[in-house]
């Protein structure tokens, strides 16, 4: 029996493969699209049974080759570029692909743990898993929203079909194995590299009534994301759509402050306040991009009451704790 991880060479997918390995599980089939070949590096320290291209994998699924051979599917494969404007590609890759795997999992009673996104909430101010609060601002968010609606109609409304289906609405995830994402990598990743290269980091100026760098997101460290996925794998009786964030909104200034101080600690230098960093030009504010106006979430904060009600009790890292761990790993410390 195989565990299948789609998007396995990507950020969250590769971390899930590693987590399965740490449980002694190496009968993992890694599925991805390696058009961007450098992603393979995320799996170099992982053990897998086989690698399949996404299109080959779908053909095998539809041909029945995996019938009776799958223990669980972690579906992380998606186009996560929120600036992608090709709606047909986005819907085929994020919606239709995800729907095909849902059909397979329901038909064969295979646990299906899939990636949704906080992008379904758009510019709203309430982040709880209810239709009234959902209004995506871009086609990426819409592709995730639409599939969640399918799950609600086909699975949750009828109490399920005897098979686990769990959707995770990821908030701002950061941590190791995201280097291939380029401009879509986390702010913490970019700040680490900016500081190492230029001795300073950049943040957007204020917008939507927020001061410089004060736009706030729910930043969640990858290790916590993996732990939640593993919790549901261990509890196949639990299904639903769940926010996966910390329940705390923290400003981008906190990312900059934590990253710089973590880097300075590795250099043997004392910590600075944010105000000192700004005064010394270590934190620099740049114009807010015109292309993001009207499409940008200036505030997110996961309501994690449903996750807690499902029995997950572990605490989540703060930005300071998570970023410090991340910087140490990026630096090889």
Task: Kindly list the catalytic residues.
Answer: 140, 181
Contact 140, 117 (CB under 8 A): yes
Among residues 30, 92, 99, 113, the alpha carbon closest in space to that of 62 is found at 99
Evaluate whether 31 touches 100 at the Cβ level (below 8 Å): no
Between CA 197 and CA 199 the distance in angstroms is 6
Angle value at C-alpha 59, between 49 and 164, nearest 5 degrees? 70
Question: Three-state SS for 216?
Answer: strand
Question: 5 - beta bridge partners?
Answer: 30, 74
Nearest to 42, CA basis, from 229, 228, 185: 185
Question: DSSP string of 252-319?
Answer: HHHHHHHHHHHHHHHTTPPP--HHHHHHTTSEEEEPPPGGGTTS--SB-----HHHHHTT-------H
Q: Which residues contact 225 (CB under 8 A, 6 or more apart)?
A: 12, 15, 168, 170, 173, 244
CA atoms within 13 A on the CB side of 1: 9
Task: Report residue 235 as tokens.
Answer: 């509890």
Whether the CB-CB separation of 7 and 32 falls below 8 Å is answered with yes
């Amino acid at each position: 029996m195989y565990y299948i991880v789609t998007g396995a060479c990507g950020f969250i997918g590769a971390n899930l493969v590693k987590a399965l390995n740490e449980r002694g599980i190496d009968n993992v089939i890694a599925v991805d699209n390696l058009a961007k070949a450098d992603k393979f590096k995320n799996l170099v320290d992982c053990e897998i049974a086989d690698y399949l291209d996404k299109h080959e994998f779908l053909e095998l699924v539809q041909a029945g080759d995996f019938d009776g051979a799958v223990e669980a599917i972690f579906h992380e494969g998606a186009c996560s570029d929120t600036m992608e404007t090709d709606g047909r590609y986005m819907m085929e890759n994020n919606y239709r692909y995800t729907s095909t795997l849902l059909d397979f999992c329901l038909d064969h009673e295979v646990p299906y743990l899939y990636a949704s996104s906080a992008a379904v909430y758009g510019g709203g101010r309430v982040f709880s898993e209810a239709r009234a609060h959902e209004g995506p601002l871009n086609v990426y968010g819409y592709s995730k929203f639409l599939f969640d609606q399918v799950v609600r109609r086909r699975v949750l409304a009828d109490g399920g079909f005897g098979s686990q289906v769990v959707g995770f609405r990821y908030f701002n995830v950061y941590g190791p194995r995201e280097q291939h994402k380029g401009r879509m990598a986390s702010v913490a990743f970019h700040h680490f590299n900016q500081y190492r290269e230029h001795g300073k980091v950049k943040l957007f100026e204020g917008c939507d009534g927020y001061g410089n760098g004060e736009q706030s997101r729910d930043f969640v460290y990858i290790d916590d994301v993996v732990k939640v996925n593993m919790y549901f794998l261990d509890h196949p009786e639990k299904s639903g759509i769940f926010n996966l964030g910390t329940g705390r909104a923290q400003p981008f200034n906190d990312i900059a402050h934590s990253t710089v101080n973590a880097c300075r600690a590795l250099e043997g230098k004392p910590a600075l306040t944010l105000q000192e960093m700004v005064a010394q030009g270590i934190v620099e504010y740049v114009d807010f991009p015109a292309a993001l106006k009207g499409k940008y979430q200036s505030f997110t904060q996961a309501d994690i009451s449903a996750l807690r009600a499902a029995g997950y009790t572990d605490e989540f890292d703060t930005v300071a704790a998570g970023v410090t761990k991340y910087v140490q790993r990026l630096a090889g410390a």
